[in-house]
Amino acid sequence: MARRDLSTVRPTETTAVLPGPALAEGPPAARGAVRTAFRRLARDKSAVAGLVILGVVVTGALAAPVIAPYSPIEPHYADSLRGLGGRFLLGTDGLGRDELSRLLFGARLSLASVGLATVGIMFIGVTIGLASGYYGGLLDAVLQRLVEILLAFPTLVLGLAVAGVLGRSMTSVLIAVVSVSWVSYARLVRGMVLSARGEPYVEAARSMGGSDRHIMFRQILPNILPPVIVLATQEMGALLLTISSLSFLGLGAQPPTPEWGAMLNQARPYFQSHPLLMIVPGVAITLTVLACNLLGDGLRDALDPRTRSFMERHVRRRRVRKRPKGA
């Protein structure tokens, strides 16, 4: 076969074979994965709806000092138990305090408590899960027995007992919630660490002399973080319900501090005559919990699309099994 003269090859042919500089300057794989996840999340209408609702709630909470028409703790005794409209858009409570102002400032405390509790729970749960799964042995056995003991008690009942011992305050509620809610994170992280412990990148880091702390927090943790973020987003709604329930029972924020659960408790005597006083904070809690659940489901599908396809196949199999044989 005659050798082809490269001098006769047109530039279009050589550029089709040789890699150009633009290919070498492409974005990193991690950045591309993040962009792909964001595109999947943007196509999920339910997740977008949850993000919009949560964004409105957070914006209202942050802008409460600016948009609230009155002080949340200032009473107007002559205007107590007002209905909708007039000077008070959402009415007033039994002491004449503006319900809209208390709702906005209550969102600040409720969302801040959920955020702080989530950070504390993630820190404790992820740390214990990493240590338990990575080291194994006696440490793993002791930690897992502790997890099983905590899982044997209902979260709300155990949190109620801890908050009751510590006293009535929002700090006591946060300590109680964090101390009983980290177990699900620890179990999730432990399972993923057990799977990742034998991966090639872990063995390579260990052979290069990496310390246990470096391997756990710089090698394993970034690879297992997406499921932890999804779990945290999905659990934020449950945390809001737990904190609001403890405040409703009188263990959380104390009067006159506005907080959604405390507002429900203070509106109980007027439920039959003025039900709106309980409906307004109840709707706020419901919408926020719904938004967290929708956003969490969307993040789960965006970060791991195999989950949705697995669930769809599982549903189809169940439908086939339930179908009559003659159908």
Q: How many residues does the chain have?
A: 327
Instruction: Supply the pTM of this predicted model.
Output: 0.80
Q: Taking a C-beta distance cutoff of 8 angstroms, is the pair 188, 227 a contact?
A: yes
What are the beta bridge partners of residue 92? 98
Measure CA of the first residue to CA of the last residue in the chain; give whole Å: 65
Secondary structure of residue 4 in the 3-state scheme: coil
User: What pLDDT is stored for residue 131 in this prediction?
Assistant: 93
* Residue extents of the structural domains in the chain: 99-302
Tokens of 2: 């005659």
Phi, psi of 253 (to 5 degrees): -60, 135
Tokens of 220: 């394993």
- How many CB atoms sit inside 10 A of residue 59's CB? 12
Residue 258 has what DSSP assignment? -
C-alpha distances out from residue 267 to 67, 94, 117, 284, Å:
23, 8, 26, 15
The enclosing H or E element of 30 equals helix 29-43
Q: Taking a C-beta distance cutoff of 8 angstroms, is the pair 107, 57 a contact?
A: yes
CA distance 141 to 164: 30
CATH number of 99-302: 1.10.3720.10
DSSP per-residue codes, 121-150? HHHHHHHHHHHHHHH-HHHHHHHHHHHHHH
DSSP per-residue codes, 81-104? T--SSTTSTT-B-TT--BHHHHHH
Task: State CA 76 to chain mean position distance.
Answer: 38
From the first residue on, what is the mean pLDDT of each consecutive set of 10 residues in the chain (327 residues)?
A: 44 38 40 72 89 95 94 90 87 92 94 95 94 91 91 86 89 92 92 88 87 88 88 92 92 90 92 90 95 90 62 49 51
